[in-house]
Amino acid sequence: MGKEIKNDADVLIIGAGASGMAAAITAASAGKRVILIEGSKEPGKKILATGNGRCNLTNEKVSPAAYHTDDPRCLQKILEAYPTDKVISFFENMGLEVHDRNGYYYPLSDQSQTVLKILKTRLAELPVKIVSDKVCEGVASLQGKFMAHTYDQDYYGKRLILCCGSRAGGYWKHRVDGYELAKSFSHQVTDLYPALMKWNVDPGKEDWASLKGIRINGGVRVPAGSLKEYRPELEGTETVRDPKGLSFTGELQFTADGISGIPVFQAGGAVAASLDGGLKEDVTAYLDLLPVISDEELEIKQYAITRMGRFLALGIKPEDLTPERFFGGIWNKKILTFLCVRAGISETEAFGVDAEEKAEKILKLSKALKIRIVSTAGIHEAQVCRGGVLLSEVDEHMESRRVKGLYLCGEMLNVDGICGGYNLHFAFASGINAGEHAVC
């Protein structure tokens, strides 16, 4: 539990998640006395679930383009001062070995448990008093100090860091409502929505449940017109900020009533905000089930002609081909059946004289399969939360622009990233940032 410290410290931190532990280690390493208050029995529980249990610490492509926020300019300053190398060094200096897997950084052990153990071990070596299993019920600024109140005790600090996490992932029952604590200091909190989660779709006349369990390399496109108050400059994409909408590629995973996978997760926050808790009827999106070709009409036509030429070389006339034979080497049979039903073309009957036209119809459909998203998984099932305390209300050192000596960091801020270690990077980077500057 660290060296004995009374209830009065240099730095008082609420929340012992990724950002809270990083802040505590950084401040204590500078020789400051730290009190770290956590509502659950053990610090850092959510870290164990990150990266499918492997803990994707950071990414070589960390930049504002990977995040959604209300203040990209402030975020850029933070990320420039605390880039990938700095987060990696933070862990390596504590003894954690890190390895690079195609630009994604993990602990060498590939186990999130190793990361958590290193963090807790380092906390125990420093002047940090960990107060666990106690929910902070309120905070205040009194006579030049900050005070945090639990059910049985008051704690004081010259500086206060709020890093209470978000409501995502079902961990909220053990946490104080950091948003309410921030509001008590006159900070604004946006509406909150789930992000990085699956979608539920309207199956329409086809049997969507027949696709359950299928995985396919594909893409997702959500037009700007389907998104509520879409502002491309505030949306996180790894490539371009497209005024036409959001577009991502990767593995799609079909469920009985919806769709999941990285491309779906990446656009999840914007979709959830557009559904607005069910206030909007649905959001239209399009699936790309054949990303090896573009959606240009000429390329689709040429693709069909090329494939037909291959069958001609086998002595099979295009008009004698069935969709089952023509597309059998491209898609899983269940996907082909679904596409044929949607296109109104028999899967087992020969194309006939209009073979090229029918083949192109199915190909075009596969490049822009329209779906209606009627809801998403809730915040308790989401990996992160969209929304929170406005980033514009803190400076590049994570200090509140409203209350001097107050710092806010981590998931409770209005910053959410795409998959790939970006969210953990911001949690650690903002925590290190706050820990460094709270001791000044």
Q: pTM for this structure? A: 0.91
C-alpha separations of 306 from 315, 328, 354, 374, 417 in Å: 15, 15, 16, 38, 41
What is the three-class DSSP state of 194?
strand
* Cα(171)–Cα(298) distance, integer angstroms: 51
Q: How does pLDDT run across 176-217, given as a tens digit for each residue?
A: 689 999 999 999 999 999 999 999 999 887 889 999 999 999
What lies within 8 Å, CB to CB, of 426 at 6+ separation is: 67, 78, 79, 410, 415, 417
CATH of span 198-293+369-376: 2.40.30
Q: Which pLDDT value is given to residue 173? A: 54
What lies within 8 Å, CB to CB, of 305 at 6+ separation is: 356
| Element holding 245 (H helix, E strand) | strand 245-254
Percent of the chain with pLDDT over 70: 95
CATH of span 8-192+386-437: 3.50.50.60
C-alpha separations of 379 from 62, 274, 415 in Å: 25, 15, 15
Alpha helix locations (H) across 138-213? 178-183
* Cα(293)–Cα(367) distance, integer angstroms: 9
* Cα(355)–Cα(248) distance, integer angstroms: 32
Cα–Cα–Cα angle for 258, 202, 363, nearest 5°?
Answer: 80
Q: Which pLDDT value is given to residue 237? A: 59
Give me the phi and psi of 207, to 5 degrees please.
Answer: -90, 85
Q: Which pLDDT value is given to residue 45? A: 86
What lies within 8 Å, CB to CB, of 240 at 6+ separation is: none
Q: Which pLDDT value is given to residue 46? A: 87
Give me the phi and psi of 52, to 5 degrees please.
Answer: 55, 40
> What is the residue-wise DSSP string for 293-348?
S-S-HHHHHHHHHHHHHHHHHTT--GGG--HHHHHTTTS-HHHHHHHHHHHT--SS
Token digits of residue 205:
């006349």
Token digits of residue 361:
């119809």
Q: Identify the segments of the chain with pLDDT beneath 50.
A: 1-5, 174, 239-240
Token digits of residue 190:
């946006």
Residue type, 385: C
Phi-psi map region of 29: left, alpha, beta (phi>0 left; psi -120 to 50 alpha): alpha
User: Cα 11 from chain centroid?
Assistant: 30
Residue type, 277: G
Q: Which pLDDT value is given to residue 239? A: 47
Token digits of residue 327:
């597309």
